[in-house]
Structure 1
Amino acid sequence: MDTSTRRRDEHRLSRRRAITAGSGLLATGLAGCLGSVSGGQGGETSGSGDGPVAVASFFSFYDFGRKIAEETPVEVRNLIPTGLHGHGWEPNASITKDIIEADAFIHVGPDFQPWADRAIQTLKDDDIDTHLINSREGIELADLAATLDPDEEGVGKDRGKDPHFWLDPQRAKQSVDNIADGLAEIAPDHEETLRENAETYKSDVLQRIDEDYQAIFDAASRDVVQLAAHNAFQYIGVRYGVEMRPLVVNLAASGDVKPSDIVKAKKVIEENDINYIGNGVFESRKPAKQLVRETQVEAYYPVTPYAGVRENWVENNWGYEEIAYNVNMPTFEVVLGNKSPDEAGPDGWNQEWRNFE
């Protein structure tokens, strides 16, 4: 039995004891923290099921994790159910056992997903040895957009900072390194492969995405983008020199749209002669439809902060890379005026996504 297998078995035994022998207290404690909330079983799973298991609280980092873990026994599971946005979702107590039994828990750092923070605190309080992997460790956060409500909270000690760092492919590279470090802790016998995979993903995927985004924004004649979405896209604006104007100025995808938000968006649309806007894939379509009815905007197209996946994306095995090229990039080509909707994406893209439901 190799080192990682023996270590994993010992860890899982301790967790089983915690769940069975002391579970009344532990499971009740975490369920009580989570409250009466929605959500069921998690989403996708990668790996053979024969090795260490890491569970992820957010789709982007699940995807990074599974790419890093390729050709190793490490299994990576996405806790967010398919079709749901990873920021604002609250799981029910069925997630408790998954986190406790996992060898590692990949999360987005403190004060972003309250349920994840509560789960981490419970793990610490009950001395459960699930290895914690903070995907945000060591990453410099950007200031929140000037349009943000004064009372809007930032990220814990980084109050006033924007937590959506992974939209910047360059910042995402540090996250890949953080996850590789964490997975190497639970699978030390496969550390070399994990680190090689991380380096390959950074150089072959994230660097290419960065360069292709840069080309799109360099070619644009306009420098303002109106999004009928929450305040999640500033890192793209910061990286590529474009002003992202979110309709919902708070950080949560469930944020309400106020009449004043619509008024401001109308002004931006008129002043910048905007004909197309972006709309969050996992957010309400109602405000975007209103802007189409009441302004010169002809249509809205999809944007997503890589926070969730649709059923057909799972079927096609889409991750961060595929979503960038098939969803976000074509929309930015259109809203920036670089290309017509028929030219922007793969065949059928305009028909699928124009004023999508």
Structure 2
Amino acid sequence: MTEHTFEPRRVSRREALAAGAGAAVAGLSGCLSGGGQTSGSTGDSAADDGPTVVASFFSFYDFGREIARDTPITVENLVPTGLHGHGWEPNTSVTKRIVEADAFLHVGPDFQPWADRAIRTIEDDGVDTMLIDAREGIELASLAATLDSDEEGVGENRGKDPHFWLDPQRAKQSVDNITEGFVALAPDAEDRLRENAERYKTETLEQIDADYRAIFDAAERDVVQLAAHNAFQYIGLRYGVEMRPLVVNLAASGDVKPSDIVDAKRVISENDIRYIANGVFESRRPAKQLVAETAVEAYFPVTPYAGVREEWVEENWGYEEIAYNINMPTFEIVLGNVAPEEIEIDGWTDKWRNFE
């Protein structure tokens, strides 16, 4: 195993653009800060009378606002701050907002039932809201063999894992899908849209992929125990690590069964695991139980980019910032690459060790 301490990556491209070229300094320690993002706006120079896109999921809202930067398109995130985008059920006002928008950016069928219902409303009523499927043409992986048979999804996606965006390479295809939709929506901005998309894929997603790979390649351990739902398989597939979810179904609200705890205890014991990962937007109770009843010393945060906390909104965090400030430090710790106190983001370990 390579000996090293975790250091946060350079300032994100979003922050560099907001603060000016002088802010782009490599190796900045501490949490990244942003330019006043509010849930529901690109925060850029979009014209008030330009087309509006509403997104059903945070990750694709973030991809969309990067693609739409400095164009007339405004992108809004429909999922409220603090909620997980998979399992949330909105009221009818959200469907009304979708119908009023110029385009609805969604994650494909059979993932968010409320989004599927909104799409049927648009199609059945002849509403002219454009539909942009971020998942179109993306090959989904088969679900883990441990998945409950009644949680395997429905329709053509039965037995498939929908969380493809955790793989930066698959995420690039969704950026292309979103770009094509935006070009159709605002053809006069095509050049800028395509430039933004290509820059985001090459400068952000490729770098995230490389930095994830460096973390996983440095590890001797190849098993990660998650006190979280079954959302991280694509990370394991991309980087050759076994992701062991505590909740084996696809929804973050899934119940933890006694057998799930028993299996997690076995994995922890067999692999001499000292640190586990817990979903930011999921219950802490199972993780606390494992800390109390096994050799695990602490749990640390992970998220499938499915929602945002209030402070992340205030700091204008997106997919990139969450990767570097939440998931990567935790994977370094749970893989055994570094001790928690070696994370060099100011205050990170104190804040996130056994977080509430």
Cα distance in 1 for partners of 2:194, 2:344 equals 33
Counterparts of 1:1-357 in structure 2, within 5 Å, are 43-46=39-42, 47=44, 48=46, 49-154=48-153, 156-357=155-356
The 3-state SS of whatever aligns with 2:172 is helix
Report how far residue 193 of structure 1 moved. 0.6
Deviations 1:202-236 (A, max 9, x none): 00000000000000000001000000000000000
* TM score, norm. by length of structure 1: 0.87
Cα distance in 2 for partners of 1:124, 1:78 equals 22
Cα distance in 2 for partners of 1:291, 1:184 equals 49
The 3-state SS of whatever aligns with 1:45 is coil
Instruction: Return the letter of the residue paired with 1:186.
Output: L
Deviations 1:49-86 (A, max 9, x none): 33110000000000000000001010000000000000
1:155–1:68 Cα change, 3 Å: farther
Instruction: Return the letter of the residue paired with 1:334.
Output: I
1:345–1:278 Cα change, 3 Å: farther
Cα distance in 2 for partners of 1:154, 1:195 equals 34
Report how far residue 140 of structure 1 moved. 0.5
1:345–1:82 Cα change, 3 Å: farther
Q: Which moved more, 1:44-53 or 1:261-270?
A: 44-53
Instruction: Return the letter of the residue paired with 2:50.
Output: G
Report how far residue 94 of structure 1 moved. 1.3
- The alignment yields a C-alpha RMSD, in angstroms, of 1.0
Instruction: Return the letter of the residue paired with 2:53.
Output: A
The 3-state SS of whatever aligns with 2:53 is strand
Report how far residue 151 of structure 1 moved. 2.8
Deviations 1:68-119 (A, max 9, x none): 0001010000000000000000001111221011111000000000000000
Cα distance in 1 for partners of 2:122, 2:152 equals 26
Cα distance in 2 for partners of 1:261, 1:43 equals 36
Report how far residue 170 of structure 1 moved. 0.1
Contact 2:229–2:249 under 8 Å retained in 1: yes
The 3-state SS of whatever aligns with 1:151 is helix
Cα distance in 2 for partners of 1:120, 1:158 equals 17
Instruction: Return the letter of the residue paired with 1:162.
Output: D
Report how far residue 156 of structure 1 moved. 2.6
The 3-state SS of whatever aligns with 1:133 is strand
Cα distance in 1 for partners of 2:153, 2:217 equals 30
1:288–1:111 Cα change, 3 Å: same
Contact 1:155–1:163 under 8 Å retained in 2: no
The 3-state SS of whatever aligns with 2:226 is strand
Contact 1:234–1:244 under 8 Å retained in 2: yes
Report how far residue 342 of structure 1 moved. 1.5
The 3-state SS of whatever aligns with 2:228 is strand
Cα distance in 1 for partners of 2:343, 2:332 equals 6
The 3-state SS of whatever aligns with 2:156 is coil
Structure 1 or 2, whichever has the larger Rg, is: 1
- Percent of aligned pairs with the same residue? 76
The 3-state SS of whatever aligns with 1:204 is helix
Contact 2:110–2:157 under 8 Å retained in 1: no
Cα distance in 2 for partners of 1:150, 1:242 equals 24
Contact 1:53–1:104 under 8 Å retained in 2: yes
Counterpart residue number, 2:19: none
Report how far residue 185 of structure 1 moved. 1.0
Instruction: Return the letter of the residue paired with 2:96.
Output: K
Report how far residue 345 of structure 1 moved. 4.7
Q: What is the number of equivalent residue pairs in this alignment? A: 316
Contact 1:44–1:314 under 8 Å retained in 2: no
Cα distance in 1 for partners of 2:320, 2:270 equals 34
The 3-state SS of whatever aligns with 1:64 is helix
Cα distance in 1 for partners of 2:294, 2:49 equals 56
1:245–1:184 Cα change, 3 Å: same
The 3-state SS of whatever aligns with 2:157 is coil
Instruction: Return the letter of the residue paired with 1:230.
Output: H
Report how far residue 155 of structure 1 moved. 5.2
Q: Which runs of 5+ in 2 are unaligned?
A: 1-37
Cα distance in 2 for partners of 1:156, 1:344 equals 44
Cα distance in 2 for partners of 1:149, 1:94 equals 33
